[in-house]
Structure 1
Amino acid sequence: MKTFVRTMLSVSALSLALAGCGSSDQGQQPQEGATGGAAQGAPTKLVISTWGFSEDFFREEIYAPFEKEHNVEIVLEIGNNAERLNKVRQGNSNVDLIYLSDYYAQQGIEDGLFETIDRSRIPNLEEIYDIAKAPLGEEYGPAYTVGQFGIAYNPNLIETEIKSWSDLWNPELAGKMTLPSITSTTGPMILDAASMVAGNETFNEDQAFAKIKELNDGVVKYYDKTSEYVNMFTQEEIAVGPIMEMYFKDIQAAVPDAKFVSPEEGGYAVMNTVNIVKGSKNKELAEEFINYQLSKEVQEKAAKAKVDSPVHKGLTLTEEEAQGITYGEETINKLRMLEMKMVNDNSKTWIDRWNREIIQ
């Protein structure tokens, strides 16, 4: 069995000039032909497929400066991962760039839907954490944000101090806990955590399922949507459960004493990627946009707005600015990373087994 998780190590930053837009220290200029003749004539349309959250922020703070600098009109196609990927599969889209979680991006790669990227045109890759540079292979797009999947809990409802994934197996938490469904983005992560708690260095499917079964009677609900988790936590139907850090601010708004923990073994990397769709007529322009997305300026804006956790190593945030996002070299270097090809290859088997053995 292949290793299911690998812990990422950092390397020293290389001193390269940033190539994004909007500030003098990012001095790469648009190349002729890449932007429809630079800043002359009708703007080039760049179609971006994305989720649509924080749309006003992205339009005003991210897209507008790039449009002005490159004489571009950015057009958005909005939807969830599955909807947007299926649209590309069916050929019903003229998308140039597509934002997807790593799980769905791996499916796009296996289906041959993406262009390979020219990394020489994306120098800001050298300025981001190693974990984000090529999460799905050197030929494909980077992760522009890396969050983490950890554990939230209400210390007013339980005595156990949560420090480790193994703490979820504390008998005190029975009847007070939620876990993600296997069909959710983070379902495979909790399955891997169960294998690890069972004592395995590499993923062991049988022992992972056996370990989850030990919790089954004490799980209030296996959640599919984060909104379900937040509602249960707010109503005190649960006191603990794994969740993505990016949603913790919603929990803490309702339960100020709530805590989020990056387990001592490491949280799980939750990565959103950006790729160029095969057949795009604007490949070089799309590569310029990826480089811009990775620039210190853009990364800092998104981090301070608490829209995305940054991957740029050069950011320095205050404690207040970093609250609620995944930030800092120490945290990033401890993150555990699923091998998405293996997840995709086994997902149907795991779902079938989960339905038979867990959801009875």
Structure 2
Amino acid sequence: MHDFKLSRRHFGMLAAGVAASAALPFSARAAGGTAIAATFPGNWEDAYRKALTPILEAEGFGLTIAPAMAQDQLAKVMASPGNPPFDTLLMSPGQMAIAIEKDLIQKIDPSRLKNWNMLDPAFQGEYGPTVTIEVNGIAYNPDMVPKPKGYRDLFENPAYQGKVSWTGFASNTAVMAYTEMAKIFGSGPDDMDAVFKLFKEHPEQLQGVVDSTNHQMTLFQQGEIAVFMCSTGNVARLKSLGMNAEFVQPETGSPAAPVNIHLTKGAKNLDAAYAYMDAAISKAAQDILKMPPTEMFPTNKDVALTPGIEAYVTRDQLSKMVYPDWAAINKNRAEWIRAFDALVAG
């Protein structure tokens, strides 16, 4: 397992981000205390602030949403393990495995969650509940390109040349796509040399590499790209902005990742943290979060799927999704990041 290495500049940027998040409005005098919750930036932070803050306030708690990608959440907590800047983290299995290994999160007490029994056993994690399943695939603009069948199409069909964007291996969405491509073009999910060879043979694809999915969504809105690897939530957001965007499940299968809320070791506001966790899995919150522009797949079994979500995936299809081996990914990820960055840099 590789530790994360932060430059002084990057660390400063992270610190500034957390400081800025602390200034976000919340009930400063909440009788039960305030939960400081790390949440993915963008769509997630907006949705969680709007849906969960009123629920916590009704129970006498405040909520501060601190936007940070999962890798940055880990970096901040690892930089101050005895005094974590967040009470809770929001992560997929890859980062969760590192957080457990580094002893950064703790097992939860399910008896403190009123809505625990509304989750199927598969969503009842000992380190925190699953709040949604992110299903990943390919976003495309049907006004600009035909519907792709899968990853192979993007390299072999001239219709996509110069219209596809990729991100690096620090992105969970990207790394899940690359492990699927390693199966198609190589000997298995760990054969990333085959993926790097593919990009070398198609240098035009490297011109579409950017730093994040948020950057890709901006380029998509501007008509500079027509295809990128994404989650269903990204497509829902683009649709809400009036964009002609569609989601494709690759013919080889859709990579998927559960997203869990975790309790940090040394969390200062346990009561508020549990109230936040419970709110996130409540029917009241998930009935809001399942609607556009987020369309998060609900894990509370009392929450019915919308037609929009069912167009992407049904409950019966969840078991047929592709769930990557995050232990293998974490073992190789730092090396893959270096190799891909060098490839992009030329």
TM-score, with structure 1 as normaliser: 0.72
Q: Distance in 1 between matches of 2:240 and 2:292?
A: 16
User: Does the 8 Å contact 1:97/1:286 carry over to 2?
Assistant: yes
Instruction: Tell me which residue corresponds to 2:23.
Output: none
Q: Which has the larger Rg? A: 1
For these two proteins, the number of residue pairs brought into alignment is 312
Q: Distance in 1 between matches of 2:343 and 2:280?
A: 43
Secondary structure of 1:336's aligned partner: coil
Instruction: Tell me which residue corresponds to 1:17.
Output: none
Q: 2:36 aligns with which of 30, 48, 54?
A: 48
User: Does the 8 Å contact 1:96/1:276 carry over to 2?
Assistant: yes
Q: Which region of structure 1 is more displaced relative to structure 2, 209-218 or 340-349?
A: 209-218
Q: 2:250 aligns with which of 238, 241, 263?
A: 263
Instruction: Tell me which residue corresponds to 2:21.
Output: none
Q: Distance in 1 between matches of 2:241 and 2:55?
A: 35
Q: 1:151 to 1:116 in 2, by over 3 A?
A: same
Secondary structure of 1:143's aligned partner: strand
Counterparts of residues 328-339 of structure 1 (less than 5 Å)? 328-339=314-325
Structure 2 residue runs of 5 or longer lacking an equivalent are 1-29
CA RMSD of aligned residues (A): 3.3
Counterparts of residues 97-246 of structure 1 (less than 5 Å)? 97-119=88-110, 121-122=112-113, 124-125=115-116, 127-128=118-119, 132-134=123-125, 139-159=126-146, 161-172=147-158, 173-198=160-185, 200=187, 202-246=189-233
Amino acid at match of 1:315: V
CA-to-aligned-CA distance 1:275-331 (integer Å, 9 cap, x gap): 1111235546644543342222321121125433322333224425x389x652144
Q: Give, in angstroms, the shift of residue 354 of structure 1.
A: 1.7
Identical residues among aligned pairs (%) = 25
Instruction: Tell me which residue corresponds to 1:310.
Output: 298
TM-score, with structure 2 as normaliser: 0.75
Q: 1:327 to 1:262 in 2, by over 3 A?
A: same
CA-to-aligned-CA distance 1:172-202 (integer Å, 9 cap, x gap): 1222222222233323112202112126455
Secondary structure of 1:213's aligned partner: helix
CA-to-aligned-CA distance 1:73-123 (integer Å, 9 cap, x gap): 334444444444333331444643222344433332221111112345557
User: Does the 8 Å contact 1:151/1:242 carry over to 2?
Assistant: yes
Secondary structure of 2:144's aligned partner: coil
Q: Distance in 2 between matches of 1:94 and 1:178?
A: 34
User: Does the 8 Å contact 1:194/1:212 carry over to 2?
Assistant: no
Q: 1:85 aligns with which of 67, 74, 99?
A: 74
Secondary structure of 1:315's aligned partner: coil
Structure 1 residue runs of 5 or longer lacking an equivalent are 1-41
Q: Distance in 1 between matches of 2:48 and 2:238?
A: 24
Instruction: Tell me which residue corresponds to 1:18.
Output: none
User: Does the 8 Å contact 2:133/2:256 carry over to 1?
Assistant: yes
Instruction: Tell me which residue corresponds to 1:340.
Output: 326
Q: Which region of structure 1 is more displaced relative to structure 2, 71-80 or 348-357?
A: 71-80
Q: 1:345 to 1:263 in 2, by over 3 A?
A: same
Instruction: Tell me which residue corresponds to 2:52.
Output: 62
